Structure 1
Amino acid sequence: MKHIRREVALFAAGGVLGLCVDAGMAQALVGFVGWNVYTARVVSFLSAATFTWWWNSRHTFAHRDSGRGARAEWLHWMALMAVGAVINNGVYLLVLQAFPGLRPWPAVAVALGSAAGATANYLFARTLLFRAPKTLA
């Protein structure tokens, strides 16, 4: 159980750092480079997801093996994180539909969506990508 708590804590830390990469990149591309918010968001998401792949493969799941080369592992990670993003946004929309009184307070729906997406992302990464313990060669 201690091992899982450590993984979850490292995964959360990587998520917070990834959020900083995401928000910082989006803000910089819009504010300093003059990109539109949609193009900037694509690049910021890809940058953040790449950072979190690096973080989690080196820290959170360093003791686990994906059985893939770096490129294939990254592609699998990106696909899993895209599913997590769909879950995140789906929960956000469902909460606002189910509880219209929360519309003036979208941060509540954002938080619930983020929690659902992060939980899914951790479970996907742990069970579908970094499935096996690393073995000493």
Structure 2
Amino acid sequence: MGVLTPLGEHLRRSRLLRFGLVGCVGFVTDAGVTLLLHTRLGLGEALARVLGFLVAATVTWWLNRRFTFQAEGGASSWLRYVVLTSTGAFINIACYLVVVQLLGATPLVLLLGVAVGSIVALGFNFWVSHNWVFATPRPPR
């Protein structure tokens, strides 16, 4: 157990791990809203996905601000988060649509599409969040 304790402590403190955990919450939010909007409200796959993403982005911005990066910020931080992760969102949604186009629009395929898009965009979004959205300003030299 001696090796596992330092490893567990490192993982507990890891921003990437916390970002990933927040991403899991975002995935559940995104998938749930997407499925709800498509299967219960009858919205098309693409519109349901975009709206699901926007809800999930708001949830993950708040959690990352508080839990992952312990950063200050309000509406301008949220806007910066949404704008700077829009490329990640594009990657995410494009992957989702490719999966849906290839495999159909059953609920299981919609979930698979959300999962594929989320995983592909995770690395990019962490980099953007760490370096641009929640970065601690460096003092001038």
User: What is the TM-score of this pair, normalised by structure 2?
Assistant: 0.67
Q: Deviations over 1:13-33 (max 9, x none)?
A: 011110110110010111111
1:36 aligns with 2:44: yes
Give the unaligned 5+ runs of structure 2.
Answer: 1-9, 96-101, 104-111
Question: Which of residues 56, 78, 94 is equivalent to 1:74?
Answer: 78
Check conservation: 1:49, 1:81, Cα contact below 8 A.
no
Which residue number corresponds to residue 16 of structure 2?
Answer: 8
* Percent of residue pairs bearing the same amino acid type: 33
Which residue number corresponds to residue 95 of structure 1?
Answer: none
Structure 1 position 4, deviation (Å): 9.6
Q: Deviations over 1:45-83 (max 9, x none)?
A: 100111110110010001x45xxx411110110112211
Structure 1 position 85, deviation (Å): 2.7
CA 1:118–1:4: 2 relative to 1, 3 Å? farther
Amino acid at match of 2:121: G
Which residue number corresponds to residue 100 of structure 1?
Answer: none
Amino acid at match of 1:130: F
Amino acid at match of 1:77: Y
Which residue number corresponds to residue 3 of structure 2?
Answer: none
After the TM superposition, list the runs of 4 or more consecutive aligned residues in structure 1 that deviate by more than 4 angstroms: 2-5, 87-90, 113-116
Q: Deviations over 1:76-134 (max 9, x none)?
A: 101122112334567x6xxxxxxxxxx89xx7xx75x655521111111111111117x
1:58 aligns with 2:92: no
User: What is the TM-score of this pair, normalised by structure 1?
Assistant: 0.68
Q: Distance in 1 between matches of 2:64 and 2:80?
A: 13
Which residue number corresponds to residue 128 of structure 2?
Answer: 124
CA RMSD across the alignment: 3.0
How many residues align structurally?
115
Q: Distance in 2 between matches of 1:19 and 1:6?
A: 20
